[in-house]
Amino acid sequence: MNELQKDADWWRGAVIYQIYPRSFQDTNGDGVGDLAGITLRLDHIARLGADAIWISPFFTSPMRDFGYDVSDYCDVDPRFGRLADFDALVVRAHALGLKVMIDLVLSHSSNRHPWFIESRASHEGARANWYVWADPKPDGTPPNNWLSIFGGSAWAWESRRCQYYLHNFLASQPDLNFHEPAVQAALLDVARFWLQRGVDGFRLDTINFYMHDAELRDNPALPVEERNDLTAPKVNPYNHQRHVYDKNQPENIEFLRKLRAAMEPYKAAAVGEVGDSQRGLEIAGEYTRGDDRMQMCYAFEFLSGKSLSANRIAEVFKDVDAVASEGWLCWAFSNHDVVRHITRWSLTEDAAKAYTLLLMCLRGSVCIYQGEELGLPEAEISFADMQDPYGIEFWPEFKGRDGCRTPMVWQSDNGSGGFSTGKPWLPVPAAHLGRALDRAEADPEALLHHYRRAIALRAAHPSLRKGAQTGMAAVGDVLSFERAEGSDHLFLAFNLSPAPERLTLPEGRWQPLGADLGCAVPTGGTVALGPWQAVILTHIG
């Protein structure tokens, strides 16, 4: 067991491997991945060097949004197995030195959850106020102008109550009312249920959506020049509003304190997803400041379509220093909601290696998404094969999330990549088969081995896991900075371009690291950086 696993502060600087269970490994031939499949493949993640796994939702669900619409928070959907399968997964993960984090979707449930079925039945009753209900305007239209991320109004009519209910996502995902104390208590009980089963923490879906403005005030318009596509595609009118009232409410922090208190006896940690195009980093800083809120949050700065240039990275960390310096960020380049970064940034193999090493050297924790260690590009999914309701709604300008959710490829010698003996729920692209794990293992130059070495470098240096980050600068296409923790002091520079560069090194006695990662070796007080090459120096004396 490595040092991160023994440390109550294990989450700080940890490398977390995200698993999308539908697409990881199928063991019963139904074409859908399952918990037993995850257990079967945990050795791969442990060998990669990750400290923890994050499992996307596997709870009972009608699967309108593939598990992000929960109908029973305390059970496993039969598609994925049983609670006993989850328990076995936890035992095996812990035996391999891996922490287990699960994806809690607390802001909303499925409309098939018993809580919602009871709430919609009547204005009276114990759960009448458990969801966000509102009367129509006198003309019958929704109570305000709030919009759903999945398109259209965020309000749906319910004839049983003759009221609208709030849904920030699909109409089948009604928002829970966090202004109701009983709702908070029930969700804290959900967290305790899984903590008692041995989980080590949570990824908290849409953490800034929990609370809404109790007065239901209209959101103001957002000027055209301020719009971006960090949290919704450009074609979505959701980007036309400044989301002042439908999320990001200050009362949310008090609930986060309660959740942190519930987690503390288990030394568990949480990483929150902050979905906000205007204030993402600021909110992440607010939610992770001090020792009574969440341990980590991530925003969408490195998950957007913007090119990740040296200047862009320096600008992001300048903003972090300004609004989140007292908090802790978690960085990712890919996940289950965005185009895979190999495709999004049009990366060559050398460029992908440079960005991988960079990710492992930045201050914060790290999430990596299944398949990125194989260099999987975004899959092209035909409309006929599409499953994602988000993509179906905005096709063809936005093709949804299916392209990053295709099955993991383990073997190159069969059509499903070793994922399933049946027909996979999404097609496995032929282009992915050439990057299957068995091929990568046999190729010493494969990206897989680079990931292992980069993660090992991070694990070997306290400065990279938990240390300070100073002096970040972008000169042309070269990004440089220093990391320090105690006597471990590193200087790092990355040439993020296909052209060679020369860099003057800081004064002092330095020794080069990272020969196995292709890092450059200085000559005198300068270093020649080849295309997509880094230099890493450790201070001596």
Q: Which CATH class is domain 3-108+181-456?
A: alpha beta
Q: What order do you get walking across the sheet with 133-134 strand by strand? A: 133-134, 163-166, 155-158
- 324 neighbors 284 (Cβ within 8 angstroms): yes
Distance CA(162)–CA(133), nearest Å, equals 10
> Residue 56 gets which letter from DSSP?
P
**Residue 444, number of CB atoms within 10 A of its CB:** 8
CA distance from start to end of the chain: 31
- Please report, for the chain, how many H helices and E strands are present, in that order: 15, 20
Report the distance separating Cα 351 and Cα 345, nearest Å. Answer: 10
CB contact set of 209 (below 8 Å; sequence gap of 6+): 107, 108, 168, 175, 246, 247, 275
Q: Which pLDDT belongs to residue 2?
A: 43
Q: What is the residue type of 502?
A: R
pLDDT of residue 8: 81
The pairing of beta strand 365-369 with beta strand 468-475: unpaired
Nearest one of 367, 376, 325 to 349, comparing CA atoms: 376
Characterize the bridge pairing of strands 201-204 and 269-273: parallel
Q: Would you tell me how many other CB atoms lie within 10 Å of the CB of residue 541? A: 6
Length of the chain: 541
Edge-to-edge strand order for the sheet containing 296-298?
A: 296-298, 269-273, 201-204, 99-104, 52-55, 15-19, 365-369, 330-331
Q: What confidence score (pLDDT) does residue 156 get? A: 98
Residue 233, pLDDT score? 86
Looking at residue 380, its amino acid is: E
Average pLDDT per block of 10 residues along the chain, 541 residues long? 60 98 98 98 98 98 97 98 98 98 98 98 97 98 97 97 98 98 98 98 98 98 92 91 97 98 97 95 98 96 92 98 97 97 97 98 98 98 93 90 98 96 97 98 98 98 98 98 98 98 95 98 95 97 72
Task: State the pLDDT at residue 5.
Answer: 46
Maximal CA-CA distance, the chain: 79
Return the number of other C-beta atoms located less than 10 Å from residue 270's C-beta. 24
Q: Are 349 and 311 in contact (CB under 8 A)?
A: no
Q: What is the DSSP letter of 9?
A: T
The architecture CATH gives domain 468-539: Sandwich (2.60)
Place of tokens 């929150």: 272
Which residue, among 333, 409, 403, has the nearest Cα to 368 in the 3D structure? 333
The CATH 3.20.20.80 domain(s) of the chain lie at: 3-108+181-456
DSSP codes joined into one string, 391-430? HHHHTTTS--SGGG-SPP---SSSTTTTS-SS--SSPPPH
b vs e for 399-438, b when ≥16 Cβ sit within 10 Å of the residue's Cβ? bbbbbbbbbbbbebeeebbbbbeeebbbbbbeebbebbbe
Q: What are the residue numbers of the active site?
A: 205, 273
User: What is the reported pLDDT for 1?
Assistant: 39
**pLDDT tens per residue across span 232-288:** 888 999 999 999 999 999 999 999 999 999 999 999 999 999 999 999 999 999 999
DSSP string, 249-313: -TTHHHHHHHHHHHHGGGT-EEEEE---TTTHHHHHHHHHSSSSS-SEEE-STTTSSS---HHHH
Q: Is 99 helix (H, G, I), strand (E, B) or coil?
A: strand
Residue ranges of the chain that CATH labels 2.60.40.1180: 468-539
Residues 83 and 133: beta-carbon distance below 8 Å = no
Cα 144 to Cα 217: distance, rounded to the nearest angstrom = 7
Instruction: Determine contact, residues 28/424, Cβ cutoff 8 Å.
Output: no
Three-class SS of residue 366? strand
Residue 309 has what pLDDT?
A: 97
Residue located via tokens 């328990």: 87
Compute φ and ψ for 502, nearest 5 degrees: -125, 140
Peptide bond into 114 cis (omega under 30): no
205, 68 contact by CB (below 8 A): yes
